Structure 1
């Protein structure tokens, strides 16, 4: 029997999401001919790697990502590391012939993302960017309805990702607050997801017509010891300057002519982790909020008489009948399930040795272009065409 051995590099908060996804679909996607094996968790903090491996059933623990990438027993690499390591580790994994699922943003700059995308296209590896919000069944259904003309020609998209994790000034300084290691702040950390969803449902972006960003907490205390995720830990008296945005906003123009308003904030008190959008077409409007991921609202000209109706999850929606244990009307879906759907799609592509198409490295590059265009528009106070960031 052929074994497909999986390694996760990065045992932090998002590494656990990867581990959960592989564990959830490992048995379902294994066959009598080939079996997916939870092989290795790698992290520089051996104790973190050991804990994640024990919780989710991985057989081995490692602390050297280069050794894992070059291990001939491993076929699949999931990259769940800080932003500045994504491109380096992904490139090394591709050169070693591994299949790669890489966290967003794909790279710190559009040029790095372009180079990585070219490397992926020249390899035989199956590659994917982590854009899990596409797999929320309601969002996937909205995409199908938009493509079929359910709300007519697209006119306007209001999309925002709001979090409150950084609103507390006592949260310690980390790589997220340094441009050299994060690329951007709220823009790259959470805004990348919103930008991907904007492209997913409304198409390619042509121009950033206006942008601004703010740093609302200009300094943060350095932790006394190691810290991971968004945890509060004991702080020293030393402060470091924050040079990544806490809030970023822009006006967008899509190639279709649709207008867009985008914002990302990591300091919005009360909005724990919320992606929301309102999409307006010539014959209707659709609303979605990730706090209620099992439904969306729609109003169509001549059908709802100007009011919104709620459309709950239905078995016919993408992913529901195939991947959840109880495919029934109104069954709730959470973050872990949608992340798992993405992992399952990636595992299927690996199993069948075919391209992974729903969130490619090319999509990761396109998002990197837009993120950098927003930064450039905010810094230079001018419109920036996406074509300025082609290579």
Structure 2
């Protein structure tokens, strides 16, 4: 029987999401031919690694990521570190022959993402980017409706990701507010998800017609103690400049001819963590809001006569018939379930030694190119064709 040992590198907020996903699907995806084992949690803060391992049932802890990659017992690695380390650690993991699931953004720049994607193409390991919102059943169902022609040809997409975590000026300075360590601000932190959903629904983005980025809180206090995620801690009296965006917006064009409007904000008071979109086609419109992940709204000229109806979760939606305990009409799902569905698909790809097709490093590169195009368009005040950055 093949044993596949799993390690998570990074014990912060998002590392816990990975741990939850592996724990939720470990037993279900293990069988007589393949056994998944929750092996190691690694973090430079050993106490954080120990706590995450305790909560989610991992057997070992480590404080040095290179030692984890050098361990021949480790087969599967989740990279859940700050952005600046994504490309370095993921590349080292691929060279060590590991299967790698890497957080978004795949790298700080499109050039780094290209190098990593090229390396992945020649690696024996399975590779994946963390684009978990594709796995929300309602969004996956909308994708199926588009492919079936239910709303006709997509003509216009409005996609937004709005958060309020950085609206408080007393949130301490961290790596998220330094471009050399984060790549971008709201654009890279949450906008990457919205761009991936835009590609998932409407195909490849070919041009950023125009863009703007702004930073509204230009200085933040340095913390006196270590902080993880978006937590408040005791602040010093010293400040440091913020050079990543609080809000980014753009107009984009798709290869299909569809138009797109995109925005990402981390300073929207009242929005905890909200991805939403309105997609208009020649025969109908669909609406989705992640605050209500168990449903979407649709209006079709030939079915609802142009009036919106709400479609709630039912077992015919992707993932719901075989991945939730109660596959029944109207059963709600949340962030953890959708993230877990992504983890389960990655584990299935590893177990079967098959490419992870819905969110590979190639998808991470495609998003990285769009993010960089938005930054160029905003700084230079000009349109940017995606193919000029390849």
For 1:302 and 1:56, how far apart are their aligned partners in 2?
A: 49
| CA shift for structure 1 position 163 | 0.1
For 1:33 and 1:108, the matched residues in 2 are separated by: 39
Counterpart CA distance in 1 for 2:104 and 2:322 is 26
Q: Quote the Cα distance in structure 1 between the aligned partners of 2:360 and 2:267.
A: 30
TM-score normalized by the length of structure 1: 0.99
1:120-159 map, 5 Å: 120-159=120-159
Aligned position for 1:164: 164
1:173, CA displacement in angstroms? 0.1
What secondary structure does 2:302 align onto? coil
Look up the match of 1:214. Answer: 214
Q: Which residue of 2 aligns with 1:316?
A: 316
In the TM superposition, what is the alpha-carbon distance from 1:15 to its structure 2 partner? 0.1
Structure 1 residue matching 2:73: 3-state secondary structure: coil
Give the C-alpha shift of residue 385 in structure 1: 0.2
Give the aligned partner of residue 53 of structure 2.
Answer: 53
Alignment-derived partner of residue 275 in structure 2: 275
Distance 1:371 1:86 in 2: 16
- Kindly state the Cα deviation for residue 34 of structure 1 after the two structures are TM-superposed: 2.0
* Matches of 1:25 and 1:148, distance apart in 2: 30
**Where do 1:1-391 residues align within 5 Å?**
1-390=1-390
2:217 alignment partner, SS class: coil
SS at match of 2:369: helix
Distance (Å, rounded) in 2 between the aligned partners of 1:288 and 1:2: 41
Deviation at 1:2, TM superposition (A): 2.4
SS in 2 for 1:357: coil
Which of structure 1's runs of 4+ aligned residues deviate more than 4 A? none
Separation in 1 of the partners of 2:101 and 2:213? 30
Deviation at 1:74, TM superposition (A): 0.3
Shift of 1:124: 1.0
Secondary structure of 2:354's partner?
coil
Write the deviation string for residues 291-349 of structure 1: whole angstroms up to 9, x where unpaired.
00000000001321221000011101100011000000111010000000000000001
Structure 2 regions of 5+ residues with no counterpart?
none
Gaps of 5+ in 1: none
| Superposed CA offset, 1:45-102 (max 9, x none) | 0000000000000000000000001110000000000000000000000000000000
Q: Using the alignment, how far apart are the partners of 2:34 and 2:371 within structure 1?
A: 40
* Partners of 2:33 and 2:342 in 1: CA distance: 23
- Name the SS for the 1:158 alignment partner: strand
The root-mean-square deviation of aligned C-alpha atoms, in Å, is: 0.5
Instruction: Please state whether the residue corresponding to 2:278 is helix, strand or coil.
Output: strand
Cα displacement string for residues 163-221 of structure 1 (whole angstroms, at most 9, x for unaligned residues): 00000000000000000000000000000000000000000001000100110100000
How many angstroms apart in 2 are the aligned matches of 1:389 and 1:140?
Answer: 30
Paired residue secondary structure (2:350): helix
Post-superposition CA distance 1:275-304 (Å, at most 9, x none): 000000000000000000000000001321
Deviation at residue 33 of structure 1 after TM alignment? 2.3
Tell me by how many angstroms 1:3 deviates.
1.3
In structure 2, C-alpha distance between the alignment counterparts of 1:258 and 1:358, rounded to whole Å? 21
TM-score by length of 2: 0.99
Q: Per the alignment, in what secondary structure is the counterpart of residue 41 of structure 1?
A: strand
CA deviations 1:98-157 (Å, max 9, x no partner) are 000000000000000001000000111100000000000000000011011110011000
